[in-house]
Amino acid sequence: MSFLPDDVVAFIDATAALPTETLADLRRTIALAPEPAVRAPKLDAAQFDALAKHLRDAFRPRADELAALVPNGALSASIANTSVAAQAIWKRALLTDAEFQSLTGAYRDVGLEF
């Protein structure tokens, strides 16, 4: 049984399965987006550890593929960007609709549902 909420697990798994070009597009979109008005909601240490482990496990099979992308850093960017959105999904009740959209909208734009 996972410590993570089911919707967070499903989001991470769906993101990790996106085509390489889609992950690269997400990276560019998020990098060029205005700074969100809010930071991702804080998780406690145990929650963050569980999230980080699932993210690493989900993206590990694609490490070589993502590492080959130019510019470098696609693997770490994919993990970091997905982490922020996953935290927002986990703590959705703490965010306004606009805040939630600013943290997760790029993922909805590529067709992910959560």
Cβ-based neighbours of 55, under 8 Å, separated by 6 or more:
12, 79, 82, 83, 86
| pLDDT band for position 70 (cuts 50, 70, 90) | low
Give the residue extent of every domain in the chain: 6-109
**Is 2 buried (19+), middle (13-18) or exposed (0-12) by CB count in 10 A?**
exposed
Candidate ranges 34-38, 48-52, 64-68; pick with highest mean pLDDT = 48-52
Categorize the per-residue pLDDT at 43 as very low, low, confident or very high, splitting at 50, 70 and 90. very high
Per DSSP, 94 falls in state G
Tokens for 7?
């919707």
Does residue 72 register a pLDDT over 80?
no
pTM of the model: 0.92
pLDDT of residue 26: 94
CA 12 vs. chain centroid, Å, equals 6
